[in-house]
Amino acid sequence: MDAAEHDHVSICIGSFPRQLERVTDEIGDVLNFGLLVIVRQDHGIAFLAELVDRRDECGVRAHRGLLGQDGTSLEVVLTSLRVAIAGDLHGDWGKGDVNLIERLQPDALLFVGDLSDGDLRLVKSITQLSLPVAVLLGNHDRGRDRSGDLLQQQITMLGARHCPWTLRKWSQPRLAVVGARPCSAGGGFHLSQAVKAVFGPITETQSADWIVDAAGKAPADWPLVVLAHSGPTGLGSEANSLCGRDWKQPHIDWGDRDLALALDRMQQTRPADLVVFGHMHHQLKGQRGERITFHRDRRGTCFVNAACVPRVGLDQSGQPLHHLTWVEFAGTEPALISHRWYRPSGELIYEQTLLRAAMTGQSPC
């Protein structure tokens, strides 16, 4: 895989003019941006110049995007890694999603669990994806089988893609993913009978130790993502908090204590750049509003709840929409995080931006 084909420039419109022109062709292979400025405007299209070509040092590709007319403010963020995250599927995964991923071509695809209630056909379809994939199974994935047999079948099918308490990494793209405790239902620390049957008795401290040990093996200059099903404690105790219990009173923090302990200890050794999870659906119970889905702590770690459920639906015109959470990294830091709704063709219809890095004008090398 050619690294230059998987580095990207994200061109974001700072202020929208009345009309926008779509650039019909790619700007071209631009291998480093020292400084980007608008030098002239012909036929209403803003051109970018002062591009410093350092082909052997970086691999940044300028993709087609929207360039504004007179007076448009352009913000340029250099990104070197694009990661798509599929929230709780609950069976919503099919050919339309496979086609969408093939069209978008993210550098990696992460699944936060609750793929289904044990549908082996869905699991098999995930194993047939050609890009780097990491999965952490959720509490629904064990189905109604308390023996652990159905859970073990899925783990066997997924192979190394399933990464509980382990480091999964790729050199192309340069990405490190550490899985947390699998099949969590939140609420502090609890192991179902199926989980005990497959993994044995595990203590809260052991689970935290294994996460920390796996993170310590990640290269220091690679982005480190912690992949969980339930998020950690410490992100709020309201119904609409990232991991807040919303289905009954009192509303409390329903996150995982072992994950919170691990993340705190990792700050002393190898901090996480991004923690992504699901389990607590975006739509609150009883149609009482929407959940907060993003938080960045004082240390700079980003937390994202990707559980948009259902993740496949129809818009007002009856056209299908598929949800993905999208993250782009600049070096090891998340530069862009958003919830996105796509047509199966790959057309982006709606985007909710959670984080966008400020323009620095610095090289990503």
Residue 97's pLDDT is: 97
**Average pLDDT in the 157-179 region?**
96
Q: Exposure of 240 by Cβ count < 10 A (0-12 exposed, 13-18 middle, 19+ buried)?
A: middle
Q: 3-class DSSP state for residue 6?
A: helix
Tokens of 239: 């119904």
- Domains of the chain: residue spans and CATH: 3-79 (no CATH), 81-355 (3.60.21.10)
Looking at per-residue pLDDT, the higher value among 244 and 173 belongs to 244
Residue 182: cis peptide before it, omega within 30 degrees of 0: no
Here the tokens at position 40 are 């002239």
Sign of CA dihedral 105, 351, 37, 330: negative
pLDDT tens-digit series, residues 191-222: 999 999 999 999 999 999 999 999 999 999 99
CA dihedral 98, 104, 110, 111 (to 10 degrees): -40
| pLDDT (average), residues 109-121 | 97
Cβ atoms of residues 275 and 226 within 8 Å? yes
Residue with tokens 């990104």: 79
pLDDT of residue 88: 97
The pLDDT assigned to 346 comes to 95
- Residue 47 confidence (pLDDT) above 80: no
Model pLDDT, residue 80: 82
Report the Cα 185 to chain-centroid distance in Å. 20
Q: Residues 217-260: pLDDT tens digits?
A: 999 999 999 999 999 999 999 999 999 999 999 999 999 999 99
Q: Is 182 helix (H, G, I), strand (E, B) or coil?
A: coil
What average pLDDT score do residues 341-362 get?
85
* Residue 57 pLDDT greater than 90, yes or no: no
